[in-house]
Amino acid sequence: MATTGLGDRRILAIVTNYGVEQDELVVPVKHLRDKGAQVSVAAVSHEEIRTLVGDRDPGDTVRPDLTLADVDPAAYDLLLVPGGTLNADTLRLQDATTRIVSSFAASGRPVAAICHGPWALVEGGYVQGKTLTSYASLKTDITNAGGTWVDKSVVRDDGGGWPLITSRTPDDLDDFLREIDAVLTGS
């Protein structure tokens, strides 16, 4: 039975159609929907999203609700950026991704990125002055982009006028989801 703790919240998850880490998309979407939030999954195209497990094994397929090009970022309360190396590397090159991330940061709405997901923020110049975590291989990219990288299961940085929640891997999902819940409920 779903709880209604987030019933008035709208969440946007952005991904490509191939290579998103299964649990970094599926687990947060289910968690947020179970709490009553309305979650939309936007992908590059309307084709099914083919997830991967560990960047190599086939995972679940997910049907996107809309395309990145069709997203009105102003309609959402939180942006979720899952990882997966292939997904994140391709996602950061989409003009729509930069437009969406920019809208959230400029308006002070939270962004939650896990694993390789912070590449989307690096690409748009949104880690400058922020403290965050990610998959360890992004440490140099984050540092070179002006961010401070730390090795923690979850980091929440409320500086710069907008909250950023980051985590390292699917192993950190419990901590990641706890911080997403906290920012959505104002805790």
Q: What is the DSSP string of 9-57?
A: -EEEEE--SEEEEHHHHHHHHHHHHHTT-EEEEEESSSSPEEEEETTTE
Catalytic residue among 35, 92, 109, 116: 116
* 72 assigned to active site: no
Catalytic residue among 115, 120, 122, 180: 115
Scanning the structure block, which residue is given the tokens 């709405």? Answer: 109
* 116 assigned to active site: yes
Question: From residue 12, how far is each of 21, 64, 73, 74, 171 by CA, in Å?
Answer: 17, 11, 8, 10, 22
Closest CA to 113 of 33, 20, 30: 20
Collapsing DSSP states into helix, strand and coil, what is residue 60? strand
Strands 57-62 and 49-53: antiparallel
Residues recognised as catalytic: 115-116
